[in-house]
A and B are shown apart, each in its own frame.
Chain A
Amino acid sequence: MTARPGLLLWLVLALPPVRHGLEAAMSLQMLVQIPLLALAGWWLLPLLPRRALDAIADWNRSGISGLLLATLVAMVWMLPRSMDAAIESFAVEVLKFTSVPLLIGMALAASWPRAGFVVRGVFLVEAIATAFRVGWLYEAAPQRLCTNYLLGDQQLLGRLLFALGAVASLWLVGRLVWGRTDVGERMLR
């Protein structure tokens, strides 16, 4: 396992043309840029030494602390105000480019493999419900929630979040009906 793909992805996302391109539309920032930043962080986990991972694990039973951390940080970056601020202020942009990879991506990478069936289920269902809730808000809001983005773009994001929630629900149902639901004892400790 190497952290190289994560670093590469991080750097590519930080290139000004890529950054501006992915922030040109609300749907791109929320559904492409932020998830890719989190993915980069996930791939960066090998940067942490074995001993640090073991130390964290003692405080992260079933991955609960890490999943909670990722959830709260994701909530901050889901605020329309934060998405606006990231475009308007370089300092906020730097915060986004560090907190999303490290506190969402890396935290998920350190926690997801430790999470059991119930913890994963709660996390996934809540994530799907959030996609529906936020999607509905964006689709139905008569006003622009981000002053840097067009109303039509906001409504498109709403519909995309709805579609994402629907696909994820179907996938989850599929896993429950046909897939394996045990997570493997060796990971649970």
Chain B
Amino acid sequence: MPALRTLLASLLILAAGSATLAAATDGFRAFTSEAARRLAVAEQPRPVPAVVLQGSGGEALPLAALRGRWLLVNFFYTRCPTYCSIQGSEFARLQDELADAIAARKAALLSISFDPAHDEPRELAAYLERSRSRGEGWFAARPTDAADLRALKQAFGVSVIADGLGGFEHNAAILVVDPAGRLVSVIDWDAPEDALRVLRQGLAP
């Protein structure tokens, strides 16, 4: 009875195939690695590594020192001609919106360069200036060694690839870190209002 056997085999293959597809997409919820990163972070907040960055004034900036504040983090490089500069002005606006929380040391903005070889403190300071930072509560910083950069990229799920023109393409996003130092949310880089909403929720008494 090849017909019945083929039907049976096909049904089994279909069931196994559907189960595999479901497993490969977190239950048909994440078809891309970016969606998978967001889902994983939302379901299981990740601790951020306690690395020591170098700030735009050349000072040491330990991530652990920022514990206790809500952080909005982005990864960038100062030569970026496209969304990093737009994100810069967005962060300046967020800095205004969050001025009270920043003054109360309950929130801060942090831009981390993934191109530390080029982005020396001088470049970082120029980036803040270009983006019209108000100074208070927005740090631009770079990791000081390759292992720290790797740990940060791994923890935040940041992928960076050279675009062949001397620049980089990267999965730009606004990353929300809670006061316990855990990455809790990944938000579209062009949706600062969503980041603001998450932060206001967190800051609400």
Contact = CB atoms under 8 A, between A and B. Distances in A.
Contacts of A85: 33
Contacts of B13: 65, 68-69, 72
Interface stretch (A33-41, A54-62, A120-128, A165-173): A54-62
Contacts, number: 84
A64 to B, nearest CB: 6
A72 B17 contact: yes
A150 interface: yes
Nearest to A69: B13
A72 to B, nearest CB: 3
A149 B169 CA distance: 9
Nearest to B1: A58
Q: Report the contact-size class of chain B (Cβ under 8 Å from the partner).
A: 20 to 34
Interface residues of A, number: 31
Contacts of B35: 81
Contacts of A60: 2, 6, 9
Interface in A119-154: 143-151
Given A61-B3, A147-B33, A150-B169, A68 B161 contact: no
26 contacts: A58-B5, A61-B3, A62-B6, A65-B9, A65-B10, A68-B10, A68-B17, A72-B21, A75-B17, A75-B21, A76-B21, A76-B24, A80-B33, A81-B30, A81-B31, A81-B32, A82-B24, A85-B33, A143-B34, A144-B171, A147-B161, A147-B171, A148-B159, A149-B161, A150-B164, A189-B2
Interface of B: 2-3, 5-6, 8-10, 13-14, 16-18, 20-21, 24-25, 30-36, 159, 161, 163-164, 169, 171
Interface of A: 57-62, 64-65, 68-69, 72-73, 75-76, 79-82, 84-85, 88, 143-151, 189
